């Protein structure tokens, strides 16, 4: 029996579930192979399930060479999306597979210096490298899902490959997989740093207790990260006060729905409200009462801690939000550095390490989650917001 290798583009789509595969195998046994398996340059690009079923049955498969017109990925994508009834979660698996395929191809081209063009025609759509911006949006459109689903799927593929694989098989939904990942991220809990800090910057994972509002691209905060209740955030007060200098400043992110709660956290952490910046996101977010396009960065102090610089910055900063859930513009950290030029600085619930800052949060290399003395385990967490 002729044996062919699978082209990498095949792996963009998940294999059939066991029951579906058995049904396909039985159909081929009774009626024969009705559709040819498509190949390109000696490798299978479409029809893995038919190939495997024929192999199990001891039947020589029928092959047909692809004519090479257009984009290989677009061709395979159109063939499978038309043929299969995939859920939004399974389409997320597919979308991440497309991005992964392009990224690997780009690295291969960089290593070999080959453009991947035959006869003046490119056989792969030219999408930007990575998942940001237009590449993510284009892949989402091709896959028939929200761009946010692509970002969520990429996070799953990186942090929980087993959950990501279950998306493809349909064993879990995207929402279920994200919630399971959030539970796992509550493990491995180092304490807060023991040094003293003059400048604190925090984007807490606020718990909204909200529900979906009816749009597929909008989901509750808990779908994206492990949230913390108001009580849990306030209970951090003793430890936060311990690591603050007598004169310190706190920059705290808050959204309109939890604005009242944010003042309770400020006071529990030992700070008094002074002023705020408003982030005009330019793009709107779906809300319960209005179309929300802003967040607050509250400024609060402990003792006396006025800015080191006399320059007054505009209180409203207009910057288009990114497609990454709750991600804040780097410009606000720069504003803090411009206002306060002296003193040790700490970012709570950080997403990444930043030069000149101590970063604490489960998405930063040197950080993790918080365990409070004589208290149950609390979540520690990527930055919050909406």
Cβ burial 302-322 (10 Å sphere, 16+ → b, else e): beebeeeeeeeeeeebeeebe
Can you give the three-state secondary structure of 28-64, one letter per residue? HHHHCCCCCEEEECCEEEECHHHHHHHHHHCCCCCEE
Cα 285 to the center of its chain, rounded Å: 17
Q: Using an 8 Å Cβ cutoff, are 142 and 157 in contact?
A: no
Q: For residues 82 and 74, what is the distance between their CA atoms, to the nearest angstrom?
A: 12
Q: Using an 8 Å Cβ cutoff, are 16 and 49 in contact?
A: yes
Domain boundary assignment for the chain: 5-182, 197-360
For the chain, first and last CA: distance in Å?
56
Give the 3-state secondary structure of residue 253: strand
Q: For residues 75 and 361, what is the distance between their CA atoms, to the nearest angstrom?
A: 42
Token pair in block for residue 123: 């056989």
pLDDT value of residue 333: 95
- Which residues have CB under 8 Å from 234's CB, separation 6+? 264, 265, 268
Q: Which residues pair with 348 in a beta bridge?
A: 202, 360
State how beta strands 43-46 and 5-6 pair: parallel
Give the 3-state secondary structure of residue 292: strand
The series of mean pLDDT values per 10 residues for the chain, 386 residues long, is 78 80 91 90 89 92 88 79 77 86 69 52 44 68 85 88 88 88 67 92 82 41 64 92 97 95 97 97 81 94 97 94 76 96 94 90 46 30 39
The vertex-62 CA angle with 57 and 68, nearest 5°, equals: 140
147-159 and 161-169 are packed helices; what angle lies between their axes, rounded to 10 degrees? 130
Count of residues making up the chain: 386
pTM of the model: 0.53
Cβ burial 154-167 (10 Å sphere, 16+ → b, else e): bbbbeebeebbbbb
Q: What is the DSSP letter of 314?
A: P
Q: Is the dihedral of CA 373, 368, 278, 224 positive or negative?
A: negative
pLDDT value of residue 261: 96
Q: Using an 8 Å Cβ cutoff, are 53 and 15 in contact?
A: no
CATH code of the domain occupying 197-360: 3.40.50.150
pLDDT value of residue 134: 66
pLDDT value of residue 56: 92
Q: What is the DSSP letter of 10?
A: G
Q: For residues 213 and 210, what is the distance between their CA atoms, to the nearest angstrom?
A: 9
Give the 3-state secondary structure of residue 308: coil
pLDDT value of residue 218: 43
pLDDT value of residue 13: 78
């Amino acid at each position: 029996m002729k044996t062919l290798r699978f082209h990498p583009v095949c792996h963009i789509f998940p294999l059939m579930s066991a029951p579906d595969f058995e049904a396909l195998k039985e159909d081929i046994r009774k009626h024969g192979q009705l559709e040819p398996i498509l190949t390109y340059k000696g490798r299978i690009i479409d029809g893995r399930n038919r190939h495997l079923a024929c192999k199990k049955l001891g039947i020589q498969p029928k092959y047909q060479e692809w004519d090479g017109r257009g984009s290989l990925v677009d061709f395979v994508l159109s063939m499978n999306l038309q043929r299969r009834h995939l859920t939004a979660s399974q389409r997320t698996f597919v979308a991440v597979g497309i991005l992964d395929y392009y990224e690997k191809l780009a690295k291969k081209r960089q290593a070999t210096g080959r453009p991947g063009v035959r006869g003046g025609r490119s056989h792969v759509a030219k999408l930007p490298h990575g998942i940001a911006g237009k590449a993510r949006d284009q892949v989402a459109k091709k896959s028939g899902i929200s761009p946010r689903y692509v970002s969520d799927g990429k996070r799953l593929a990186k942090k929980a490959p087993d959950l990501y694989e279950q998306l493809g098989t349909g064993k879990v939904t995207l929402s279920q997989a994200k919630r399971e990942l959030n539970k796992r991220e509550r493990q491995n809990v180092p304490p807060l740093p023991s040094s003293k800090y003059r400048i604190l910057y925090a984007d807490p994972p606020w718990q909204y207790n909200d529900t979906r509002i009816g749009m597929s691209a909008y989901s509750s905060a808990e779908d994206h990260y492990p949230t913390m209740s108001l009580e849990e955030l306030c209970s951090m007060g003793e430890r936060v006060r311990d690591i603050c200098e007598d004169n310190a400043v706190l920059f705290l992110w808050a959204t309109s729905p939890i604005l009242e709660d944010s003042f309770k956290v400020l006071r529990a952490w030992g700070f008094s409200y002074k002023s705020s910046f408003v982030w005009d996101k330019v793009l709107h977010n779906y809300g319960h009462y209005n179309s929300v396009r802003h967040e607050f960065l509250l400024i609060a102090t402990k003792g006396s801690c006025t800015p080191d610089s006399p320059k007054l910055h505009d209180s409203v900063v207009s910057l288009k939000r990114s497609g990454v859930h709750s991600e804040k513009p780097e410009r606000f950290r720069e504003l803090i550095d411009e206002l306060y030029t002296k003193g040790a600085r700490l970012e709570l619930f950080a997403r990444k390490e930043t030069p000149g800052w101590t970063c604490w949060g489960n998405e930063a290399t040197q950080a993790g989650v918080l365990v409070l003395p004589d208290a149950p385990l609390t979540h520690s967490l990527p930055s919050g917001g909406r």
